[in-house]
Structure 1
Amino acid sequence: MTTVPRSVLFVGAFPRPAGLDRYASGDLALRLESRGWTTRVTSSRPGRLARPWNMLIETWRARHQYAVACVDVFSGPAFLGAEAACAVLRRLGKPYTLILTCPSHYLLTEMRSMRTDLVLLPNPLDVARYAFHERRPLLRHLVWLRAFHETYNPELAVEVLGRIRKQYDDVRLIMIGPDKGDGSLQKTRRTAKKLGIDEAVTFPGAVPKLDVPNHLSRGDIFLNTTNCDNTPVSVMEAMACGLPVVSTNVGGIPYLVEDGESALLTPPADAEAMSNAVVRLMHEPILARRLARNGRQRVEAFDWSVVLPRWERLLESVTPGFGAHWDHEP
C-alpha cells in the first residue's frame, strides 16, 4: 500500500477533554492540516499505561497513512513510551523526529554536548490573539499565570505584594492557574492571610486557553516567580499583551528577554528585589512602556507565521522522496 505524501503522525500525550489546540503538537497538527497535510495524533487515552500502549498500536495500525512521525515527549514515563514507539518506527523504516516540547536557545546550549544535530524550533504563539496596549499610570494590578507547584514558587508573588502594599495599599494581585496538588496553592493562600493581604489576592483557578488574553489584558505588570524555567509560554503571552514583565533570572529566561530592555530580572526567591523592580516600574512609566514595546517585538519572532514554515521544511526534508532541503538553522 502506498504511503500518503505530506503526511505525519504525532506521537505524544493529548488527553481529553482538552482540544488538540491545547497542546503544542496538537496545535501544530491542526495548522499543518490547514496547509494541505494529512495528520494523525496518538494518544488521547487516559492513564499512564493505556496511553503508551495505544501509541504503539496506532503507530503500527496506521503505518500506511503517514510518511513521517513526530514524537513529542517532555517528562517522566512518557520517555519510555516514546522509545517504544520509536522502536516500532525503526522496524517500519519510518523517519521520525524526536523533539522537545519547549525548545529554546537555552536547551540548545545545554544539550549541545550530547548531540550536534539539535534543531531549534520554538513553541509558537498566535500573536494576533493577544491585543497589545500600553499601560498608563497608575500601574496597580499585578498578574501571575502559572500552575500552582513549588517549582514555580507562587508564594513569592504574595510576598512581593505584601512588601509593595506597605507603600501602596491599592495594589492588587490575581494568580491564575491550576492546582497541581503539592500544597503550593494552600501555602500561598496561608501566606497571603498571614501577611494580611488575602483580600487583595484573587485566585480564579485555571482558565481556558482562549480566555488567557482577556485575563492578561486586565493587568498592568506580570510576575514570573519560578525557581527554574525554560521558555515559559505564559511570559510570552504577557509580553504579547503589552505587560511589562518582572521575572526571576533563571534557566532560559535570560535567553528569552534582556534585562532592562524587554523585562526586569531579579534573583530567584528574592521578594525584596522583585518588589523593588515592580515599584521601579510604577515610578518609571517610560521604562514600563519601553519594556512593553520591546517585549511585543520579541515575541513576534515566535509567531506561527514564522515557525510553521520551518516545521514544514523540516518534515519535508525527512520525508522519503520529497527532496526538500533543511537548512539546519541554529
Structure 2
Amino acid sequence: MKRDRPCLCFIGSMAGDESGNSLPMGRVMAALFKQEGFEVIVASCKVNRLLRLLDIARTLYLERSKIDILIIQVYSGLSFVIADVASWMGRVLKLPIIFHVHGGNIPSFIDRHPAWVGRVMKRASRIVAPSHYLANSLLQHGFVIALIPNVIELSRYAFVHRRKPVSRLVWLRAFHDVYNPSLAAGVLSLLNGLGIHADLVMIGPDKRDGSLGRLMDAAERQGVSQQIRIIPGIPNEQVPEYLARGDIFLNTTNIDNTPVSVIEAMACGLCIVSTNVGGIPYLLEDETDALLVPPNDPSLMAGAVQRILMEPALAGRLSENARRKAGQFDWSVIFPEWVRLFEQLMNAHGRLEA
C-alpha cells in the first residue's frame, strides 16, 4: 500500500535500560522517528538470545502487511545471526532492507567470515555505516555504503566550558575486557605519583566476563580503590546528569568504532582523553577536541590528564571544540539524511504516494 510516510521496522538487540545497559542506537532512533510522526515497530527487547530471535521472526510475520522499510541493526559475533535470519525473512516478504552496521569488531569479523557476511550483505537495499572507519572498511570489502552518523539530542546535554577543570574523572562504558576498565586504575595510581589526587566515577553494566573484578583487584593493589566509585548501568535519561559531574572523560577501550558515550561527553564539554584505536581517530582530533594516546598505556594517559589540569588554554580549547563537533550528531542534522534515504527506497519500491 502506498503512503506518504513509511512504516519503519527496527530489528536487532533492543534490550536497554531494563537490563542495566544503555539504550542501543536502533532503539534510540526508533523513539526519535516515532516523535516525528512515523509509524514504528521494534523487535526485540528480549534479553535471551533465542527468545529474541523468535520474537523477531514472529514480529516480522505478524506485521508484514504494515512494514514498508526494514532497518536491521548489524553487529558482529553471534548477533550477526539476527541479521542473517531477519534479512532472509525480509527478502521473502519483498521488503526494502537497510543494514545499519555497528561495532568496532565488524572489520575483523568480516575478515574471519567473508563468505557468510558477503551472502547476508547482498540482501540489503542499502548499507548504512555511522562512521568513516566502518564505511572505509566495508568499502574495502566491496560493499556500497551510505554514511549517516550516530545521533544524540544535543539539547539534552548542558554545556559547561571547562577552562579550569579539576580532577573529577568520568568513565562511561560496559565493564568488559574490550573496554579495558582496569587501565583506569593504573592511571589513577600514576596521577597520585604526580601529586594529583583524582576521583573517578565509572558507570556501566557488568558484562560478567571478570573485568569488573580485575579492575577492583588492580585498584586494591595500586592503592586507589577509595578513589573509584562504581555505578551500575543507569537509565539513558540520566546520562547527561552523571557526565556533568566530571570535568575529564576517560575512554580506555582497546576496540572501538564511534561510541555514543564519547559523543555524549563531547556534548557536555568534558575534556576527553581516549585511546586512539579503531574509529576513534575518525571521531576525535588529537590536540584539537581530545588528547589521544596508544591503548593500554597508563603512563601516557595519566600524562594527558595532567596536561589538561595544568594547561587551562588546552582544556578550554578541547572543551569548546568537542561541544562544537558534537553538534554534527544532533537529531536536527541526522534526521533529514535518513528521510532522504527512506524516500529513495520508497520510490524505488513503488511505496510512496505521488
Q: Deviations over 1:2-45 (max 9, x none)?
A: 36552121121223763999232222222222223211112233
* Pairing 1:11-50 to 2, within 5 Å after superposition: 11-15=11-15, 18=18, 22-50=23-51
Could you tell which deviates more after superposition, 275-284 or 69-78? 69-78
**SS of 1:165 mapped into structure 2:** helix
Aligned-partner residue type, residue 153 of structure 1: N
The answer (yes or no) to whether the contact 2:15–2:23 under 8 Å persists in 1 is no
Contact between 1:259 and 1:265, CA under 8 Å: does it hold in 2? Answer: yes
Q: What displacement does 1:323 show?
A: 6.2
Partners of 1:256 and 1:17 lie apart in 2 by 26
Work out whether 1:302 is the aligned partner of 2:316.
no
Instruction: Name the residue aligned to 1:321.
Output: 350
* Cα distance change, pair 30–190 in 1 and its aligned pair in 2 (3 A): same
- Name the residue aligned to 2:249: 222
TM-score (norm 1): 0.92
Q: Give per-residue Cα distances to partners, 1:76-99, cap 9 Å, x unaligned.
A: 233223222222221221111112
Pair 1:112 & 2:139 matched: yes
The alpha carbon displacement at 1:57 in A equals 2.1
Q: Does 1:134 align with 2:161?
A: yes
Other-structure match for 1:62 = 63
- Decide whether the 8 Å contact of 1:21 with 1:27 is kept in 2: no
Aligned residues: percent identity?
Answer: 41
Q: Does 1:210 align with 2:210?
A: no
User: 2: CA distance between counterparts of 1:64 and 1:112?
Assistant: 34
Identify unmatched segments of 5+ residues in structure 1. 325-330
Alpha-carbon separation, structure 1, partners of 2:50 and 2:187? 42
Change (3 A) 1:139 1:9: same
Equivalent residues of 1:225, 1:268 under 8 A apart: yes
The equivalences for 1:88-107 within 5 A come to: 88-101=89-102, 103-107=130-134
Q: Deviations over 1:267-286 (max 9, x none)?
A: 11111111111111111011
- Structure 1: distance between partners of 2:242 and 2:257: 23
* Alpha carbons of structure 1 residues 323 and 11: separation in structure 2 relative to 1, 3 Å: same
Residues 149 and 185 in structure 1, CA contact (< 8 A), matched pair in contact too = yes
Cα distance in structure 2, aligned partners of 1:98 and 1:34: 22
In structure 1, the residue matched to 2:124 is: none
Q: Which runs of 4+ in 1 moved over 6 A?
A: none
- 2:290 is the counterpart of 1:263: yes
TM-score by length of 2: 0.86
SS state at 2:33 partner: helix
C-alpha deviation, 1:47, in angstroms: 1.8
1-structure distance, mates of 2:245, 2:46: 36
Which amino acid counterpart does residue 210 of structure 1 have in structure 2? E
1:187 aligns with 2:214: yes
1:76 maps to a residue whose letter is: G
1:10 matched to 2:37? The reply is no
Once the 2 structures are TM-superposed, how far is the Cα of residue 316 of structure 1 from its aligned partner?
A: 1.8
Partner of 1:327: none
**What is the distance in 2 between the residues matched to 1:225 and 1:46?**
27
How much has 1:69 moved relative to structure 2? 1.0
Q: Is 2:315 the partner of 1:288?
A: yes
Distance in 1 of aligned mates of 2:28 and 2:248: 28
**CA–CA distance in 2 between the matches of 1:138 and 1:254?**
24
Cα distance, 1:136 vs. partner?
4.3
Q: Is the 8 A contact 1:227 1:250 kept in 2?
A: yes
> Please, which moves more after superposition, 192-201 or 7-16?
7-16
Corresponding residue for residue 328 of structure 1: none
One of 166, 172, 179 as aligned partner of 2:199:
172
Residue in structure 2 matched with residue 148 of structure 1 by the alignment: 175
Distance across 2 between alignment mates of 1:293 and 1:83: 42
How much does 1:322 deviate?
A: 5.1
TM superposition shift of 1:160 = 0.6
Counterpart residue number, 2:106: none
Tell me if 1:82 matches 2:83.
Answer: yes
Amino acid at match of 1:11: I
SS at match of 2:72: strand
SS in 1 for 2:140: coil
Paired letter, 1:60: Y
Please say which of residues 120-129 and 68-77 is displaced more in the overlay. Answer: 68-77
**Amino acid across the alignment from 2:8:** V
CA distance in structure 2 between the partners assigned to 1:143 and 1:128 by the alignment? 21
1: CA distance, partners of 2:57 / 2:157: 38
Q: Give the number of aligned pairs.
A: 323
